[in-house]
Amino acid sequence: MKNLKLLLILLCAHTTFLVNDVCAQKSTSDDGELFKVAMAGFTFVNFNLEETLKMMKEVDVHYLCIKDFHLPLNSNDQQIADFHAKLASYDVTGYAVGPIYMKTKEEVDRGFDYAKRVGVKLIVGVPNHDLLPYVDQKVKEYDFKYAIHLHGPDIELYPNAEDIYSHVKDLDSRIGMCLDIGHDARDGRDPIADLKKYKDRVFDIHMKNTTAATKQGKTCEISRGIIDIPKFVKMLRKVKYSGACSLEYERNMKTPLAGIAESIGYFRGVIDATK
C-alpha cells in the first residue's frame, strides 16, 4: 500500500500531462481505524449515480450506503452487476442498502431479497412495529444485520436510540440500529452516550450535526453544530465500532458539494488530531 502511494507520487511528479485529479493525494485519515468514512446515499437524492460518484471522488470517500433511487428495488441481476461495475470504476464499495421503509410482510421480503441480490449483508430499514417478529425471523434466515433507522422528533416511528433498543433488546442480536446522531440529538438524547450504551446494537451511523438539541434544530455541516464530534470520534474508538460512519448531508441539497467537503474534511481533521 505504501509502495503504491509512493509510486503514485512519483508518477504525479514526473508525468506532466496527467490531469490534476489523477495527482490528488489520497487521504490517510481512515487508515488504521476500525470504522469507515462513508456516505449515506440520501445525501445525493438530487443527483444521478455518475454525479454522485464524481462528488465522492472529489472528497475521496469510498463507501456508499445504496439508496433505491440509484439502484431500484426491482433491478435485475444485470442492472445490479452494472451498478457495482460503475461503483468499482470510482473505487467505491456499496456496503449496505437503505434506508428502506417496510410497512408490510411483502416489503420485508422484497427488502431482504433485494439486499441478497445486491450482495450486501446489512439492511438499513424502518419496519412497522408489528413486523419486528417477522424481521427477527428473516435475519436468522438470511444471516443479515438489520439496522433500524431513527428519525428524531419528526416521525413517530423510532424517534431515538433508546426507543429502538427497547424494541429490539429481546430480538435476535443481528437487529439493531442506524444511529443517526443528528436526529438522536434533536430528540433530546446524547448520541455519544447512546453509542456507548447501545454499542452492541449499532450497525450503521449517520454522521450529521444540528444547530440545536430540539425539534427546531436544523441540520448543518458537521463542523457547525452542537454535537461534539471530537468526543464522538473518541467514543467510536473506545467502543471499537467497526461499521461505517456515513455522512448524511441534508443542508443545501441541490448544491451540496461544499458542505459535503467541509464535513468530510472536518471529520478527517478530528480523526487525525485524535489518533
In DSSP terms, 66 is beta-bridged to 97
CB 165 to its own copies: min, Å: 28
CB 155 to its own copies: min, Å: 18
CA distance 140 to 151: 26
CB 107 to its own copies: min, Å: 33
Amino acid making up residue 266 = Y
CB 77 to its own copies: min, Å: 35
Nearer to its own copies, 25 or 48 (CB): 25
Nearer to its own copies, 140 or 275 (CB): 275
Nearer to its own copies, 246 or 263 (CB): 263
35 Cβ partners below 8 Å, 6+ apart? 205, 236, 241, 242, 243, 244, 245
CB 213 to its own copies: min, Å: 11
Nearer to its own copies, 218 or 238 (CB): 218
The distance of Cα 44 from the centroid of its chain, to the nearest Å, equals 12
Nearer to its own copies, 64 or 264 (CB): 264
Nearer to its own copies, 114 or 232 (CB): 232
Residue carrying C-alpha cell 438470511: 142
CB 236 to its own copies: min, Å: 13
Residues of this chain that interact with its own copies (CB under 8 A) are: 9-10, 12-14, 20-21, 23-29, 58-60, 211-212, 214, 216-218, 220-221, 223-225, 229-230, 233, 251-252, 257-274
Nearer to its own copies, 147 or 271 (CB): 271
CB 163 to its own copies: min, Å: 23
CA distance 118 to 51: 21
